[in-house]
Structure 1
Amino acid sequence: MTTDAPQVFDFTTLPANDNVNPYAFSVDLNGQWFLQKGKMIAYYGQIDFHGIGHGPLDRLVASSFHSPLHAADWVVAEGHGKLLLADRAFDVNSYDLDDGNLTVRSGNLLAYEPSLSLKQSIIPGFLTLIGTGKFVAASNGEVHFVEPPVRVDPQALVGWADCPSPCHHYDHQYLKGVMGGIRAMTGLGGASGEEHQFEFVGAGTVLIQSTEMLMADRNAGAVPDQAGVPGGGGHGGHGGQSGQGGQQTPQLPGQLGGLQRRFGL
């Protein structure tokens, strides 16, 4: 029985600013890109990585990065070469903005061109890109584009473009029931799309992924506690858990907790 041999890439055969496969994207770097930590799996060429908030690129950061809550999660890739981006075998796609604005879940955004300006969304756990340029984002399954008016499961929501921010919608029976009483006392919403949705109205486009399961949250600044990872330790065979031998990114004063940043509660 014969099987197809795997395709082997090099600098010249990797695609330029396109997908290598559904799970990896190749950036043809000739200058600078903003890159979320932990999303680069390999690169060719001469490329340097600079932290946000210090280093020689303050002018670039001042014009293209306006989200201090997420500054510790991002770097600037500068140089010439090809960057391979991926995120734990989730689906990866690129999108082009043309003098537009798009708000995306912060954990899903992998990278963007400096011609775009990134800002902190008024909705916790989301970031807004404004301008003209390309960005790369991941999703748990294929992304679908729908027009408002529409109500979306919060866990299926990837982002929205050129339309007003959503408001919360709660099912009437849910509000009347036992869980409604708990919410009235605690202010916490439901986690199920059948009880609680984001409601979009007006013109624009809403991006939803084809599952109600969020991409698992990760501390982008942590060293995974895995064997073979320098500084990771690998104690007990448990990987990817900050606080078990890995380093933790310090939380800034007033920074939102992980649950709030992911779900927008």
Structure 2
Amino acid sequence: MTKYSIEEFLKQTEQEEKGEGLFELETPRLLEVNLEKQVWAKSGSMVAYEGQIKFEREGLLEHGLGKTFKKAFTGEGASLMKATGQGKLYLADTGKKVIILHLQNDVIFVNGNDLLAFEPSVKWDIKLMKRVAGMMAGGLFNIRCEGTGMIAITTHYEPLTIRVTPGEPVITDPNATVAWSGSLQPTIQTDITLKTFLGRGSGESIQMKFEGEGFVVVQPYEEVWMNSNS
């Protein structure tokens, strides 16, 4: 069998049974969901599936009127789809790295564009941060995930987790910030010096400041936020 034969290609890329449970990484950039009942996933993230699975867009009032108003207000692109049934579901998001987290009565905030999938047992809510004119299209929002269950988040390239300790605040670029622990409440600040250096229109003059005790996850990439209504 030659190095580049079809047989060798199949050997290197064929789906494997890892037996890791509901969520498992088929590859670093592809999430396999061993679906038995239901899961929520980012709309448009399905790349393949096996079995009897039905897909539905998130109902207008499915998660309550408050969340519907927030989504309309933010114009955010993190609309959800509900996958119901039994089978194997493969999810991905523009080739981004997939990270699986098993929440155990935990709280974590995730950038609204970086939440790929989660179990129905995980409670979630959209949180709006202070809107700053010219910061980014659609504003800045995140999703609060709470409870016990599996969630999958995505990052561009390898993520870095920075510990936040009392008296040692961590400052991040909003476009590179992926997630942070539920114990932290970031504030928005403007770096006047940086703004002068980069020009008035630069988003990098806007920063997120994390104080207290917890962690923040960043990626080596500045995400371009798009307004889903545009």
Please give the range of the TM-score, normalised by the shorter of the 2 chains.
Answer: 0.7 to 0.9
CA RMSD after TM alignment: 3.0
**Preserved CA contact (<8 Å) 2:77 2:226:** no
Secondary structure of the residue aligned to 1:67 is: helix
Aligned with 2:36: secondary structure? Answer: strand
CA contact (8 A) 1:52 1:71 kept: no
Work out the percentage of aligned pairs sharing the same amino acid: 25
**In 2: Cα distance, 1:72 partner to 1:169 partner:** 25
Instruction: Look up the match of 2:137.
Output: none
Residue of structure 2 in register with 1:199 after alignment: 209
Q: In the alignment, what sits opposite 2:142? A: 126
Counterpart-to-counterpart distance in 2, 1:32 and 1:43: 14
Match of 1:19 in 2: 25
Deviations 1:171-227 (A, max 9, x none): 35246x4878x5xxxxx7x412xx432110111221111x132167485xxxxxxxx
C-alpha displacement of 1:67: 2.9
2:114 corresponds to which residue?
A: 108
Shift of 1:128: 1.1
Deviations 1:150-170 (CA, angstroms, capped at 9, x unpaired): 111222100111223211233
Please give the per-residue CA displacement for 1:58-116, whole angstroms capped at 9, x wherever unaligned: 8xx449x9732169821211111111011111111111211121111111111110000
User: Are the aligned partners of 1:34 and 1:114 in contact in 2 as well (CA < 8 Å)?
Assistant: yes
Query: 4+ residue stretches of structure 1 with deviation over 6 A?
Result: none
Map of 2:156 onto structure 1: 140
Q: 1:151 to 1:83 in 2, by over 3 A?
A: same
Contact 1:52 1:72 in 2 (8 A): no
Aligned partner of 1:152 in structure 2 is: 172
Q: TM-score, normalised by structure 1?
A: 0.67
Partner of residue 33, structure 1:
39
2:223 to 194, 207, 214: 214
| Structure 2 CA distance for aligned equivalents of residues 215 and 92 of structure 1 | 18
Paired positions, count: 203
CA distance in 1, matches of 2:224, 2:77: 20
1:1-265 correspondence to structure 2 within 5 Å: 2-3=3-4, 4-5=8-9, 6-9=12-15, 16=21, 17-53=23-59, 61-62=62-63, 67-68=67-68, 69=71, 73-123=79-129, 124-148=140-164, 149-174=169-194, 177=196, 190-192=202-204, 195-209=205-219, 211-214=220-223, 217=226, 219=228, 251=229
Would you say the 8 A contact 1:163–1:201 is kept in 2? no
Q: Answer 1 or 2: which has greater strand percent.
A: 2
Question: Is this contact kept in 2: 1:53–1:71, CA < 8 A?
Answer: no
TM-superposition CA deviations, 1:12-71 (whole Å, max 9, x none): 5786421111110101111110111110101111111123226xxx8xx449x9732169
Unaligned runs of 5+ in 2: 130-139
Quote the offset at 1:122 in angstroms.
2.7
Question: Residue 121 of structure 1: SS of its match in structure 2?
Answer: strand
Q: 1:216 to 1:140 in 2, by over 3 A?
A: farther
Q: Alpha carbons of 1:82 and 1:178: their partners in 2 closer, same or farther (altered >3 Å)? A: closer
Q: Is the 8 A contact 1:67 1:118 kept in 2?
A: no
TM-score by length of 2: 0.76
1:138–1:66 CA distance, 2 compared to 1 (3 A): farther
| 1:19–1:198 Cα change, 3 Å | same
